[in-house]
Structure 1
Amino acid sequence: MASMRLVVRNLRHYISIAITLFKSLFWCISDNFDYPILIKLADSFLSLYFIVFCDLRPITVDLDDGETTVHFWVSGHRKINRPNLVMLHGYGGNSKWQFVHQVSDLSKSFNLFIPDLVFFGRSHSRNADRTVEFQARSVVGGLKRLGCGGELAVYSISYGGFVAYRIAKIWPEMIGKLVIVSSGVGFTQQQKMTEVKKHGGDVSEILVPRNPRDLRMLVRVSMNTGIAYIDWVPDFILSQFIAVMYERNRQALVELAKNLLEREEEPEFFAISQKTLIVWGDKDKVFPLEHGRRLHRNLPNSSLEILKEIGHGVNIEAPTTLNNLITSFVLGVSLT
C-alpha cells in the first residue's frame, strides 16, 4: 500500500511538471511570435528548475483586502525539523531570476517561502499604495494565508531589506532571525539624494530600465565582478528581458522607487530587537559599505560580514558564500 501511494505521488509530480512545460511552451508560441520568446522560454525553464531540482511549488494567494494577489514559491515537502526561511528579493526581475543561484542549496536546509513582491513577477494589486509598509503587509498577509505560524527566519536583499525591516518592526513576533544584504535601511533623505546623484539620472531610469543602455548601466552599478558579459549580450535579448520584467507594471515600479527615494524616514533610526546578520560587499556602488557599518552600529543585536571585491549583487556575485553565511547564522552552526 505504501509503495502504491509513492507511485501515485510521483506520477502526480511528473504530470504537474509536464503540464507546466506544455503551458509554458504554449504561452511562448502564442500571439504569432509577436513575443519576447527567448526570455519567456528562459523564465519557463527557471520555473521547471525550481519545481524539479529544488522541490518548490508555485502558489498564488488572494489577500483579505480583496485587491491584492501574492505569488509564492513554497517548498513542496516541508519538514518539521527544518526552519522556515522567507526570501525577499530586490529590484531587477522577479524572485526566480534573483534567487536562481541560491534556492537549490537553501532548499536542503530550510522550508522556503519566496514571494514575488507586489508588482514584481506574478504578484499584483489594485491598491494605489506604493509604500514599503504596503509591501510588508502583503508579504505578512500572504504568509498567514499559507499557515505560517511561529517565528520565521527572513533573508532579504536590497529593496527586500526595507520590506523585511518593516515586518520586523511592525510584527516583531513573526521574525526570529533576520538577514539583511546590501540594503539602504535607515538612509536619511540627504543620503538617498547623494547616492542617486552619483549615478547621474532619475531613479526610475536606474531601477526600471527602458532600453538596453539603461539595463547595462544597472548591471554595471550593481556588480563589481563578471560584468564584462553584459557588453556581449545583443540588444534584442536585453530588450526582451525589459519587456518581460518591467513593461507590464512599469508605472507601479517607478512609483515604488520614487516613494522609497522621496519619503522622509523617521527622525531617529528605529532599532529592532531581532538577531540580525548584515552582509555587504565592500565594492557596493548602490549602498556603499559605510551604510552597512552604520546599520551595524545602530543595531545592538547584529553582526556584520564584509565580502571583499563584491558589489551590490551579492546574490549573483557570491551566492555560495552568502548561502553558507545564511545557513550558519539561522541554524546556529559553523560550516567551516
Structure 2
Amino acid sequence: MARCFSFTSSRDWCYRYSFSNFGLKSVTTDLGEGTIMHCWVPRTHKESKPNLLLIHGFGANAMWQWNDFVSPLTARFNVYVPDLVFFGDSCTTRPDRTESFQAQCVMGLMDAHRVRKMNVVGISYGGFVGYSMATQFPERLERLVLCCAGVCLEEKDMDAGMFMVKTVDEAVSILLPQTPDKMRDLLRLSFVKPIKGLPSCFLNDYIDVMCTEYFKERKELIEALHKDRKLVDLPKITQPTLIIWGEKDQVFPLELAHRLKRHLVRTHN
C-alpha cells in the first residue's frame, strides 16, 4: 500500500507556514554557473534594522534548525535564512565541496538581495561557513556568532580520540543516517536528553524525506571539512566574535571551543 501520510513532510509544511507568519518569504535565486540558492528573506526589508543571517548545520533544511528562534529575531533584525548548497532547495553542478565555496554562494545570495552589511550566526557546519565568510569578506560582516562550530579541529584530532567516532566514514554513517538504528545514534549524539522509543516508521519517514537526496554530495562536504585540516592554516578574523557551546557537546567537544577562543584572542591581540 502506498504511504498516504508523512509526518516529516507535514512538519516541513508547518515550518513553511510558520516562517511565512514571521514575515518572511521563500525565494529561490539562480547564481549562475549551475548554482541555485534558496533563502527565506524579509517580506519587507527595513533600512532602520540591522541585517541578520542565520546559517544552519547538517541535518534537515534551514527551517528545522531555526524555527524556534526566528520569531523574536524578526522584531529587531532583517532576518535571512538560507539553505546551504545540497540542503533544502539549494544545489549546484559545480564540483567544489569546501566551506569556502559554500561561503561564496551565501554571499552571492546576499548580493542578489542587495544586502551589503550583515551579522552572521552559524551553528555547527554553518559556523564553518560563517567563519569562511568572515575571512573572505571581512568588510561585509559586522559581527559573528559561532555555535558549537569546530572550526579549530585538525585532521589528527580524530586519530587522537577526541571524537565519539573513529573515522570519517563512521561520522558520515551517523550524520547522514540511512537506517533507523543510525538515526537513533544521531539522536543520542546530538541531544543531551534524546527522545526515546521513537518507532522505526517515524525514523524511516524522516530518512526518506530528509536524508536520501544529495547523499553523495553531502558525504563529500563532510570529507572536505576534515581532509588535511590544520589549525596553523586557519585564517585570522578581526570581527567581534561570540562563541556559544554546549558543555556536553558530543559532536564537537568543548575543548574545540577553548581552542577557538585561544586562537581568536591571539588574533585580536
Residue range with higher mean Cα deviation, 84-93 or 99-108: 99-108
TM-fit CA distance, 1:116: 0.3
Contact 1:178 1:277 in 2 (8 A): yes
**Does 1:162 find its partner at 2:131?**
no
2: distance between equivalents of 1:138 and 1:195? 33
Q: TM-score, normalized by length of structure 1?
A: 0.75
Q: Which amino acid is the alignment partner of residue 130 of structure 1?
A: R
Within the candidate set 188, 191, 196, 1:220 is matched to: 188
Q: TM-score, normalized by length of structure 2?
A: 0.93
TM-fit CA distance, 1:60: 0.5
Contact 1:59 1:74 in 2 (8 A): yes
TM-fit CA distance, 1:278: 0.5
Contact 1:95 1:115 in 2 (8 A): yes
Distance 1:77 1:93, change over 3 A: same
1: distance between equivalents of 2:35 and 2:72? 31
Tell me the matched-pair count.
266
TM-fit CA distance, 1:272: 0.5
**Does 1:144 find its partner at 2:111?**
yes
2: distance between equivalents of 1:62 and 1:82? 26
Q: Within 5 Å, give how 1:4-23 maps onto structure 2.
A: none
**Does 1:56 find its partner at 2:33?**
no
2: distance between equivalents of 1:275 and 1:83? 16
Contact 1:212 1:235 in 2 (8 A): yes
Work out which structure has the larger RCO, using CA pairs closer than 8 Å and 6 or more positions apart in sequence: 2
Match of 1:121 in 2: 88
TM-fit CA distance, 1:264: 2.8
State the Cα RMSD in Å.
Answer: 2.0
TM-fit CA distance, 1:269: 3.7
TM-fit CA distance, 1:146: 1.0
Distance 1:83 1:190, change over 3 A: same
Contact 2:158 2:165 in 1 (8 A): no
Match of 1:314 in 2: none
Q: Within 5 Å, give how 1:214-253 maps onto structure 2.
A: 214-225=182-193, 227=194, 229=195, 231-253=196-218
Match of 1:86 in 2: 53
Q: Which amino acid is the alignment partner of residue 167 of structure 1?
A: M
SS at structure 1 position matched to 2:145: strand
Match of 1:271 in 2: 236
TM-fit CA distance, 1:265: 3.5
SS at structure 1 position matched to 2:265: coil
What does the per-residue CA deviation read over 1:93-140, in whole Å, with 9 as the maximum and x for residues that have no partner? 110001111111111111111100000111011111111111111101
1: distance between equivalents of 2:266 and 2:28? 35
Question: Which ranges in structure 2 are unaligned for 5 or more consecutive residues?
Answer: none
SS at structure 2 position matched to 1:281: coil
**Does 1:292 find its partner at 2:260?**
no
Structure number with larger C-alpha Rg: 1
Distance 1:192 1:106, change over 3 A: farther
Distance 1:81 1:234, change over 3 A: same
TM-fit CA distance, 1:301: 8.7
Match of 2:9 in 1: 40
Contact 1:180 1:276 in 2 (8 A): yes
Within the candidate set 155, 168, 176, 1:208 is matched to: 176
Distance 1:193 1:115, change over 3 A: farther
Contact 2:163 2:251 in 1 (8 A): no
**Does 1:185 find its partner at 2:151?**
yes
